[in-house]
Every structure is written in C-alpha cells, then in structure tokens.
Structure 1
Amino acid sequence: MNDWNIQSRAHACEACQQPFTDKQSYHTILFEEKVELRRQDVCDGCWQERFAGAQELNGFISQWQGVYQAPPPVTEAIQKETAETVLKKLIELNDPRYVPAGFILAVMLERKRVLKVKEQVIRDGRRTIIYEQSKTGEVFTITDPDLHLNQLEEVQRDVANLLEHGFNPPQAAETVAATVATETATNAPESPVEPAPATVTAETTVAS
C-alpha cells in the first residue's frame, strides 16, 4: 500500500468522455484497489444513469459532488515554494523518510483551508486521510504516521527546512566545501613553495 498519492481532477467525464465545462457539477467516486485508491470523476447524467448505486459496487470507499473550475491560463512566472508545492514534491518522491513531514504539511494546509477532509478510512490497520484541494479538485491520499510527542520537534524542524531551503539545504554546499578543503590540504606538497621575488615600485611625486 502506498503511504500517499495525489490524483488530479479529470477534465472530462470518465464514463461518456464529454469534457467538463466551467462551473459544471460533477461527482467523484473513490474505489479501493490492490495498491492504492482510484478516483473516478463523472458528469451528472452518467451519475444518475450508471453510478447512483455506487455504494454497492466492489471496492467503494467514498463519493462526493463538486463544481468543475476551468484551469487558469498557464504562466511562466517563477513561484516560491509553498507548503502545497513541497507536499506535491514529497508525494512524487514517494520516500518513506518524508511521510511524517508530508503529514504535517497536509495538516497545515487543512488548517489554512487549502485542503478539505473528504473521508477518513482505515487501511491495513492505519488511518488514511483523503483530502481535496479546494480550487483544483486534486485528491491527496495521506497516511497518518501516528507520530509521538517526542518525534514532533524533529519533524517540525524538517518541515521548516523544506519550506525554507527546499530539497537543497545550504548544509550540503558547506559539506562539499569542507570536503574540498580537506582534500586540498591532504594533497598539498610537503616542501614549501619558494615565494617569488618582491617587486619594488618607486613612486614619483610631482611638485605643483
């Protein structure tokens, strides 16, 4: 089972393939598969005709209704790292070391009302929280790492470092510099290098 994943809102009904229009109502259904949860977005018509009884389907987890928002025009502006962008990168990395940090970031975004809790389920004995991004409709599946009080300080420090420095903390550059300095000192010649003869420059003062 994956500890987390992210699934974007579809831009068309997955049953009839009809593209969604701005402000159109749609339905999201979550099904449990072998490894992760699968999202399916359908229009009102297909929901009434084919999925109104989705609760009875095998693997059904949850369903909710949303309003489609057409994506804004793509811009090339450089965006600063935010809690949401860092969380997305952690999910892409899928590194178990970052599960606690990802959980804390999700909680932060929930408190800021960027993410909304849509469902909480128990999978393999662990609590899994299903969030939806309010504006984009993306679904984030986050596993609760069951943190203890004595772990919080370290995790909060990791989160602060990720938000401030991203995935290239300055300590890494300092370590490389220190390594280079050590290797330079180790490989330095044993006999001193004779200094070049000093050059004397005479200055001429011009009387006014």
Structure 2
Amino acid sequence: MNPLPNEWAIKHRADFCAVTHRPFVPGEYFYTLLYHDADGYRREDLSEDAWRNRNENIRPFSFWKSRYEPLPPKPAESVPKENAEQLFRRLMASHNPP
C-alpha cells in the first residue's frame, strides 16, 4: 500500500518570502518547505534569512533549496483571436465569400 496520496495538491512557487514578504530577486536562493495540513499539504517559500531564523522545532514534511527565476513573460498574440461569429461576418463581408 502506498502511504502517499495519488495526487499532490501543492501550490506553485511564490514570488516572495512567506515570512518577510520580501520579493525574491532573480538568481536568489530560497527554501521550499512542505507541511502536512488538514487539506493536504501547505507550501512555504522562505528567503535564506528566514530559513536561518526559523523555529527548528517546527519540522516540515519535506524541504529543498532552489534558485529563483521569474516566469518568462507570456508571448503576445501574433494574430488576434476571433470568435466564430466574427470570422463568419468577416468572410461574408469579403468580396470572395466561401
């Protein structure tokens, strides 16, 4: 029997420290801590300062160290999307409808 649930509902990485609320900067190391929670797992992302000053008596289920890199910006749409009605009206208004 597998003691772990089939699905891990863990939120994505934060862009700021859970303790100091200071935003992470690109290339900065931070720690992710996972705790068992009533709803599954709770994730906390801590700066290195917050990691050093944490209460070591409160032990996470798991933790790891990562380097922060912001998500790349979403690419702009090269061609604007149009819905089916807009497409139909544009084609019917053209000089050469289908």
Q: Number of aligned pairs? A: 74
Find the partner of 1:36 among 4, 24, 40.
Answer: 40
Unaligned runs of 5+ in 1: 79-208
Distance 1:73 1:35 in 2: 32
Runs of 4+ in 1 over 4 A off after TM superposition: none
The equivalences for 1:57-206 within 5 A come to 57=58, 60-76=60-76
Match of 2:90 in 1: none
Offset at residue 2 of structure 1 (A): 8.0
Instruction: Decide which structure has greater helix share.
Output: 1
Q: Distance in 2 between matches of 1:76 and 1:6?
A: 29
Select which of 9, 24, 29 maps to 2:28: 24
CA RMSD, Structure 1 to Structure 2 (Å):
2.2
TM-score, length-normalised on structure 2?
A: 0.65
Q: Which of the pair has the greater relative contact order for Cα pairs under 8 Å at 6+ separation?
A: 2
Contact 1:2/1:35 (<8 A) preserved: no
Question: Structure 1 2/77 Cα, relative in aligned 2: closer, same or farther at 3 Å?
Answer: farther
TM-score, normalisation: structure 1: 0.32
